[in-house]
Amino acid sequence: MVDVSKKPETLRKAVASGSIRMKSQTLKMIKENKIVKGDVLTIANIAGIFAAKNVASLIPMAHPLMISHCALSFKFSPTGIIIEATVTIKAATGVEMEALTAVSVAALTIYDMCKAVDRGMVIQDICLIKKTGGRSGTYVSK
């Protein structure tokens, strides 16, 4: 791990996004809450938050962090669901990995819950959208 003990604590925020593409019938079943395993987006939301809080146990060089806030949003598109995660902390290191992991695990949860009706779903375009705070300042993807 990188030594961050000499870095100042600053307010840091990261926003990540990704999507899961699926059949229109699968999307309809999610919207109508007809997936047998339960409310897909509620469970994906919980999974994403849980993942953000546990990044250090998944990614070997990540610092264990006490995040201040994590929120996920889900938007329906014509071909699937767009997932966005925002994570905030006041610390000496950023929360990019937490936001990216939240999106990834939320997408994997959607896949798991819907795989009985659609094994052809595709998780794609997981990326950092924006990060603020810290020595390097603000980053916004193009």
Reply yes or no on whether the pLDDT at 135 is more than 90.
no
Mean pLDDT over 10-18 rounds to 96
Provide CATH code, domain 10-133.
3.30.70.640
Q: Give the dihedral of Cα atoms 46, 49, 51, 57; nearest 10 deg.
A: -130
* Domain parsing of the chain, residue ranges: 10-133
Exposure string over 8-20, b if 16+ CB within 10 A, otherwise e: eeeebbbbbbbbb
Tokens of 15: 């926003």
96 and 128 in contact (C-beta within 8 Å)?
yes
Mean pLDDT over 115-137 rounds to 96
Residues recognised as catalytic: 112
| Each residue's pLDDT tens digit, 25-57 | 999 999 999 999 999 999 999 999 999 999 999
Mean pLDDT over 101-118 rounds to 98
The reported pLDDT for the residue numbered 136 is 87
3-state secondary structure of 121: coil
Mean pLDDT over 64-90 rounds to 97
The whole-model pTM stands at 0.96
Residue 49: Cβ within 10 Å count: 21
The reported pLDDT for the residue numbered 84 is 98
